[in-house]
A = this chain, B = another copy of it.
Amino acid sequence: MVNTACGSSTQHQENVRKVRESMLSEREFLFMAELFKALGDYTRIRILSALAINELCVCALAEVLDMSQSAISHQLRLLRAAKLVRYRKEGKNVYYSLDDDHVRNLLAQGSDHIHEIG
């Protein structure tokens, strides 16, 4: 730590004060970090992108991503915890889908961003 105020200039202190006042709460930042963390994995982003196209059961997801059912199931657990997916049971199968259009928007924004920066 020991941040001895690099520049003690008026502008510096004014910026620090202004930013401090406008920052969200610790709780909000923790939630946002969890949200993006849930999106920030190669497997999970593919799961969400697949569900953005069509509702799918677990075994279909495993087939699409060419991964074990267990691995998919573990990741779906995290996505449920982050409220990014819904699910409904039908017989022996469990069908997953995106929780709402908000998630779809986040995916679209992410896609836009990477296509912009090449």
Contacts and interface: CB of A to CB of B under 8 A. Distances in A.
Interface of A: 1-3, 5-7, 12, 15-16, 18-20, 22-24, 28-42, 44-46, 49-50, 53-60, 62-64, 66-69, 83, 93, 100, 102-103, 105-107, 109-117
Nearest to A108: B109
Contacts of A19: 50, 53-54, 56, 60, 64
B16 A60 contact: yes
Total copies of this chain within the assembly: 2
A35 B67 contact: no
A111 B46 contact: no
Given A16-B60, A23-B53, A102 B83 contact: no
Contacts of A68: 1-3
B102 A59 contact: no
Contact of A59 (B7, B44, B62, B110): B7
A12 B106 contact: no
A22 B113 CA distance: 19
A55 B111 CA distance: 26
A67 B1 contact: yes
